[in-house]
Amino acid sequence: MRAMLPDAGGSVLPGEAPEPEPADDEVLIAVEAYSVNRGETFQLDGRLDRRRPGWRPGKDVAGTVVRSAADGTGPAAGARVVAHPPASGWAERVAVPVHSVAALPDSIDAVTAAALPLAGITALRLLRAAGPVAGRRLLITGASGGVGHYVTELAASSGAAVTAVSSTPERGAQLLELGAAGIVTSPADARGPYDVVLESVGGASLPAALARLAPGGLLVWFGQASRTPVALDFFDFFDGPAQARIAHFDYTRADTTYAAELATLIRLVAGGRLHPEIGTVRDWSRTAEVIEDIRGRRVRGNAVLTVG
């Protein structure tokens, strides 16, 4: 079958891959659309040392089940689905455990669905890690990305007063429409204090955001998009928020089954309560081009490729 294969330059090339061989608890999906995430660009360029022999990228897919699971669980052949495989989704077909697949209603197309899994699951689990947000002040950095977009809309609709950090006011404009109480271009410009900070940029962003926590506040650290390591000075805490807490977050650590969250995301989209921001839709032959546009921050929201 045709698939996108990692190349030596940190990108992908079209090529041939073996047909998937589903396990008894896996369905075989004919992929109609997939999304490219920033984390996958890190894997491709070696920034995340998670590549295994035979590894191919692809964690967000939507399509049609062409073979149901041998153990009788999960959707039947012919069902439209959204799925979150561990890898290998940038291909004509992919095998996915039934615990990471959810049915799609006719009202949601494959392009919209493909923009949901990784960013949407991360947003749901981040907000669980943050605790109840109704009536609380929340600051999120890197808010123009897919995760930030979903967190802003979900938190605002739950009653949080969200301040979103976006690189430019233009990139943050849609976040105001989704319920953000304010937009700033740097955490240093945020007034605070905040009960919760969700930080994903790294570098100087984390210390600046940490200084804006309320006493006893929580900072959840879930990424380092700038690729710049964070430096913290312990003595700065004496002038900062008393009893501030920092929690590391990895959406895969607590649970590696995703069907429930995928079903929740689909329900929210179908009900008009969640609105994916799709910055570009292109044929999958242009995947390498999209990867470079994501690295150059030329895509706002999700980038979706259609397989045809």
pLDDT at 151: 96
Which candidate, 85, 121, 80, 71, places its Cα nearest to that of 102?
Answer: 80
DSSP state of 19: P
Rounded Cα distance between 94 and 20, Å, is 6
pLDDT at 50: 54
Backbone CA torsion sign across 255, 257, 259, 265: positive
pLDDT at 253: 76
Does the structural domain 119-248 have CATH classification 3.90.1150.110?
no
Name the residue type at position 49. Answer: D
C-beta separation of 90 from 58 below 8 A? yes
* CATH 3.40.50.720 residue window(s) in the chain: 119-248
User: pLDDT of the chain along its 308 residues, tens only?
Assistant: 999 999 989 999 999 999 999 999 999 999 999 999 988 998 898 765 555 778 999 999 999 999 999 999 999 999 999 999 999 999 999 999 999 999 999 999 999 999 999 999 999 999 999 999 999 999 999 998 889 999 999 999 999 999 999 988 887 888 999 999 999 999 999 998 999 999 999 999 999 999 999 999 999 999 888 888 888 877 776 667 888 899 999 888 778 899 999 999 999 999 999 999 999 999 999 999 999 999 998 888 899 999 98
pLDDT at 51: 57
pLDDT at 49: 53
pLDDT at 297: 85
Rounded Cα distance between 153 and 180, Å, is 7
Residue 117 in tokens: 């899994």
Q: Which CATH architecture has domain 2-116+276-306?
A: Alpha-Beta Complex (3.90)
pLDDT at 39: 87
Rounded Cα distance between 123 and 110, Å, is 20
* CATH 3.90.180.10 residue window(s) in the chain: 2-116+276-306
C-beta separation of 172 from 180 below 8 A? yes
C-beta separation of 80 from 108 below 8 A? no
pLDDT at 242: 81
Rounded Cα distance between 87 and 64, Å, is 17
Query: For the whole model, what pTM was predicted?
Result: 0.93
pLDDT at 238: 67
Phi and psi based region of residue 272 (left: phi greater than 0; alpha: psi -120 to 50; beta: remaining): left
pLDDT at 48: 56
